[in-house]
Amino acid sequence: MARKGKTVIDRELCKGCYLCIRACPVKELEKDVESNSTGTYPAKSVGSGKCIACGNCYEVCPDVCIQIFELGA
Note the pLDDT tens digit of each residue in 25-66: 999 999 999 999 999 999 999 988 899 999 999 999 999 999
What is the model's pTM?
0.89
- Other beta carbons within 10 Å of 57: 24
Give the pLDDT of residue 1: 58
- Asked if residue 70 lies in contact with residue 54, where contact means CB atoms within 8 angstroms, the answer is no
Indicate the pairing of strand 29-31 with strand 43-45: antiparallel
Architecture of the CATH domain 4-71: 2-Layer Sandwich (3.30)
Burial class (CB in 10 A: 0-12, 13-18, 19+), 1: exposed
- In three-state secondary structure terms, 58 is helix
**Beta pairing partners, 43:** 31
Mean pLDDT along residues 9-31: 96
